[in-house]
Amino acid sequence: MNPIVHITTRADWQTAQQEGEYRHPSLITDGYIHCSLPTREQLLAVANAYFIGQPDLVLLVMDRQRLSAPVQDEKFEDSGLFFPHVYGSINAAAVLQVLDFLPQADGSFSLPTAFSGTHNTAEQENLSLPRTLSS
């Protein structure tokens, strides 16, 4: 399995389950759905840059081989980081795990204990992204 992760609201995921697919507004604005690799580095950087204090989020852990839409890993500016982009809707069957992703008391995020992604060093955990990256 080659997992990727997307952060969304519980309400949007519930709608997607009823419709059989998840469509994010970035499909229209950017042509793809922003995702992350299953690492502390990427998930916490994205969450803490764009979702601070936002309640009722979930992590959609997907198997990229089960996605019906193509996925491309693309470099984010000159950061040296590559992020997966899904060029179409996310079919519900590709989602292997849905995890609650709630902010801590200070509004920042840490990974849920049930998350089984890869783990990076403490230095990588503190990565920050410019606000131009949307998820």
Whether residue 118 lies inside any domain: the answer is no
pLDDT in tens, 84-132: 999 999 999 999 999 999 999 999 999 998 886 644 333 333 344 443 4
1-16 pLDDT per residue, tens: 789 999 999 999 999 9
- pTM, full prediction: 0.83
Q: What is the dihedral of CA 22, 28, 32, 33, to 10 degrees?
A: -40
Instruction: Identify the pLDDT of residue 117.
Output: 60
Residue appearing with tokens 């519900």: 92
Task: Report the C-alpha gap between 9 and 30 in whole angstroms.
Answer: 19
- What's the domain range around 46? 3-112
What phi, psi does 115 have (nearest 5°)?
A: -70, 130
Residue 64 CB burial class (10 angstroms; 0-12, 13-18, ≥19): middle
Question: What CATH code is carried by the domain that includes residue 86?
Answer: 3.20.170.20
What type of residue sits at position 133?
L
Both tokens assigned to 8: 């969304």
Whether residue 36 is contained in a domain is answered as: yes
Q: Looking at the domain assignment, is residue 72 inside a domain? A: yes
Domain count across the chain:
1
Average pLDDT over residues 45-55: 95
Q: Is residue 69 part of a domain?
A: yes
